[in-house]
Copies of this chain bind each other. A is one copy, B any other.
Amino acid sequence: MTTISKSPDQPSKPQAVVLLSGGLDSATVLAIASQDFDCHALSFDYGQRSLSELKAAKQLADYYAVSHQLIKIDTGVMLGSALTDQSIAVPDQHEEGIPVTYVPARNTLFLSHALAVAEVRSSNNIFIGVNAVDYSGYPDCRLEFIDAFEAMANLATKAGVEGNFLKIHTPLIDKSKAEIIALGIQLNVDYSVTVSCYQANEQGEACGHCDSCQLRSKGFENAFVSDPTRYF
């Protein structure tokens, strides 16, 4: 990938902090946010099974020429999930209800870190790629959670008290996976770089079986886009 160059003559854009996992959704969000905002991307090492998504995040940040910060979350915190505990198997099929890949308070922790970083950088905007259509069943991907977080955040910070209200942007919230992909293709997102698989190997190759792989694969099919995912 070549890097999108920035012209020094561009008018200055407002700043935003973008949560960038390295997956399909957050790559699309970064492409969207980069159009109108000066972005700072955040990725998290929280003891997840697959670290290849963090390499993908770095590649995406480099491509969009945005600053990238990797934040380490204490491994003693987000336990008891198939994504953080090697002794719990990632299921091959979609589970009804909240699946075993649910990670306790994950988006709350990600957004809390983003809130601190945003305040330090005097930024009023956070972007997150949650969506509630073709989604995982995680409670912290719903709009009502995001709205409650935003309300809390504006009571929590000096910025909020002083009237510099934080806005959490969720540009994918109402989109199906196919719609997300179609939008990303328009914006030239290189999905071959992204890693969505819950158990991708070190090379970023996907299993093709887990819930996340199935949702992604079906998304490409429904968007009539050939699937660039590398499977092992």
Contacts and interface: CB of A to CB of B under 8 A. Distances in A.
A80 B122 CA distance: 11
The interface centre, meaning the residue of A71, A107, A116, A140 with most chain B CB atoms within 10 A of its CB, is A116
Nearest to A148: B152
Query: In the complex, which range does the number of interface residues on chain A fall in?
Result: 35 or more
Interface string A99-127: 00010111111001101110110000000
A105 B116 contact: yes
How many subunits of this chain does the assembly comprise?
2
A120 B76 CA distance: 10
B112 A158 contact: no
Contacts of A78: 116, 120
A156 B105 contact: yes
B77 A74 contact: no
Interface string A70-113: 01111011111000000000000000001000101111110011
A149 B105 CA distance: 12
Interface string A141-170: 010110011011101111011100000000
Contacts of A161: 98, 139
7 contacts: A102-B158, A105-B157, A106-B116, A108-B152, A108-B153, A109-B112, A139-B160
